[in-house]
Amino acid sequence: MAKVNIGLRGWRFDEGVLNEEGRIRPLSGLEPEVRQRLLVLADRVVDPCDACWLEYGDGQIEECNVAEVIYGEPGGEVILCSVHEPDFLYWFREAGGDEYAGDLELQEAFHQWFLDGNRAPDGYEGLEHVDEDPTALPEAPTRADAVPSLEEELQELDDEEQAAMDLDFSDLDV
């Protein structure tokens, strides 16, 4: 089965999480790990790039670039714009960040490295991304655009249904 990005590059999902219309299948039919990733993705997809946010802070949020890629595990994920993705990749590949692979401390470790003034060297090559349909998503998607049908479904679930699927929305802004 093919893999697809939803909303941001980085986390890859089996295309089976989408129905024929390209919308997310009902959460109750998805594996718990997939549900968790989709919930985190829905919460973070409209956030600014982590590095931009660290650089500019809340006071100048309009200066921040739109996030395009997500790395890490839910709860320790890092979202980045194309300007700062090479910084993350350099940190991960060359500056010891790979020791945090699969670890929830990845976000904190990268943030600290970045706050300490570290950056990728000029000209450092990041990843070359090939988009099959680069116009598929708007420049700054809403949660509903980036993760189709998820927000609608979340609003329809009652507490009992959330408990049955072991969903915890306490940290999410949905």
Start-to-end CA distance of the chain, whole Å, equals 30
At a CB cut-off of 8 Å and minimum separation 6, what does 77 contact? Answer: 40, 44, 70, 71, 106, 107
Cβ-contact 19, 7 below 8 angstroms: no
For residue 125, name the pLDDT band (cuts at 50, 70, 90).
confident
Q: What is the pLDDT of residues 9-37, one digit of tens each?
A: 999 999 999 888 888 888 888 999 999 99
Give the pair of three-digit tokens for residue 45. Answer: 């997809």
Q: What is the pLDDT of residues 89-111, one digit of tens each?
A: 999 999 999 999 999 999 999 99
Cα separation of 158 and 149, whole Å? 17
Q: What is the pTM of this model?
A: 0.75
